[in-house]
Structures are given as C-alpha cells and as structure tokens.
Amino acid sequence: MGLEREKKTIGVIGAGAWGTAFSMHLAGMGYHVLLWVYEEDLYRILKKERENRYYLPGFKLSGYMDFTHELTDIPAYSDDIVIATPSFALRETLERVSHGLQGKRILILTKGIEINTYKFMADIVHELIGRDEMVAVLSGPSFAREVAKGQFTSVVVASRIKSLSKYFQSLIHSDNFRVYTNEDVVGVELGGAMKNVMAIGAGIIEGLELGTNTKAAFVTRALAEIRRLGRALGARDTTFMGLSGIGDLILTSYGSLSRNRAFGLELARGRTSEEIIGSQNAVVEGYFTIKAAYLMSRNMGVAMPITEELYRIVYERKDILESIRDIKNRGLKEEDE
C-alpha cells in the first residue's frame, strides 16, 4: 500500500511511556509525528531536551517528532490518529476533540475497561465520534522500553473493518515490529485489558516466593478465566491463544518491566494499594481494570474467582494469605469448566 511516509503526519494522543515509544517507532519509519503532552512541564522538557524524562528516560527523540500541549492540534494537523492515554482518561480527553476526530482513521493503544459502563476503549471511541468511524485497536506483548530500543516486537491490530486493520498493518509494520491482523475486536481488547489484572496476581505469587509451579498454574487458570469472560462477551476462543491473549499475559506476568507485576510484588511486601499508587509516576492499568472486570463479571453472572480475590485484596484489603487459602480450597472442577 504505497504510503508516502515523508508527507504523512500521525498524531499521537498521550505521551506516557507507550505513547512515546510508539511515536519513536513511527518516526523511525519516516513519518512525521505530532505528540500531544498532557503535562505542561513535561511538554516544556520535551521541546527543550527532546527526552521524556517522566515516563521514558534515556532516549533522545527523533527530529521527525514534534510536541504540542494543545489537544486540538492533533486532529487539525494529523492524517491518522493514535490514542495512548490511560484508560481512565480516554473518555474525558477525547470528548474535548470528538468532532475533530470524525472522518479520521484511529488506532487505539490504550488497554482497559471503563469502570462505570464496562465498555472497552473502542466502544467509547465509537460512542463519542459515531459508529461508522474507522477505529482499530492494537495489542500484544510490547514493553515500551524494548520498542524504544528497536528490539523485535510482534503485535496484533484488530478492527471490525478488515480493510482498516490491513491499512494500519501496512502503516506500522517493520522488520523489528511485526504486525498481524484480527477481526475479533472484543477478544483482542479483553486480552489486553485482563492481562494487566492477572499480572498483579503473578507479582503477588512471586513476592511471596510460592514457586514456579504455583505461578505456572496461576497463569494457566488466569487464561481460562479470561477465556470464560470472553465467551460470554462473544469473543473467539482462538484470540486468547494469540498475541493479545497468552502472549501479552506471559510478558506482563513474567517480565521485569511490568508495572502490574511490580504492583503485585509490592502488595506481597505488605504495602497497601493506596500507598503504591500514590508513589507511582506511571499508571498501573491493572489497578483500575480489576474493579471494572469484577463488577462486569458479577453483572453478567460469569465466575471469575481469581479476579474476585484480586479485587478484594486491592480494594477491600483482604489478607493475601486468606485469599490464597480461599482459592486453594475451592470445590473440585473439570479443567474446561
């Protein structure tokens, strides 16, 4: 798809670690990137020093990247738009420019579930700018720092409109950034959101030194729980065996760069959720997604015992060892229940 990279401007909304790393990837491919920065002081740092000292320190940013603190600049100057805000801020942010986004091709990097509505990120964007708009989502095992280093990464782009997922595949694919396509938007979004939840549990297991047998069992049953909710939502089982499912779950549960795993480690060391979140600069998406997923599963009547126990640990300060006992003492089950 002969894209004229030197003439194309891609707007990125959100200058966290992932938004910055993805912008670096796009700039490295020769696209002009306009990155919207929420924090005014970070915007000044980026303009002066060309380094994201807040969220992705240690990388000098390409001359193909420019920065703005004015959100309306993104739809005004961009051909395609990438959304990389935290999940809790996506609706409020896009409401400010929803009219300008109409008619634009949009790729969502944000992973999560809205707490009050149980909506995924693509559903929120559709709601704000119209259901006929061109919206795709990206997910898969992709630590921001490794993408920024140019290390090989593979992801999946999903859209209800096949030609759009193919368009973004062609737009962002490179030798070190392999892109697959999928039409199961719900499955891709659910896998990307829930792996953050389950990685907190993996971090707790590691922090308590419960062993690799325990962690392997946990990750396997976590995937089964995600698939169970996926079936209730109409997702395809096969999606959870792909990059946005098992791939991202393994990365986030075992990878040393995982903020959600680190959150679980701190819980295991006795810190409260409030203490950990209050001390963090970067967003721990799993903290927010736990509540949304727990409430969604109860509303839908889907059994999610791991998610429920994590919710009680994180939001109700249930004793971690008591939660582990309750999980271990559940009744006997068939594996595929």
Active site residues: 195
Start-to-end Cα distance in the chain: 45
Long-range contacts from 242-246, C-beta under 8 angstroms, 24+ separation:
242/156, 242/180, 242/182, 242/191, 243/139, 243/140, 243/141, 243/154, 243/155, 243/156, 243/180, 244/139, 244/140, 244/156, 244/158, 244/182, 244/187, 244/188, 244/189, 244/191, 244/192, 245/187, 245/191, 245/195
How far is CA 124 from each of CA 42, 268, 290, 307, 332, rounded to the nearest angstrom? Answer: 27, 34, 18, 23, 39
- Other C-beta atoms within 10 Å of 295: how many? 15
What gap in Å lies between CA 87 and CA 261, rounded to an integer? 18
What residue type is assigned to position 85 of the chain?
T
- Other C-beta atoms within 10 Å of 110: how many? 31
- The first and second tokens of residue 196, run together, are 């953050």
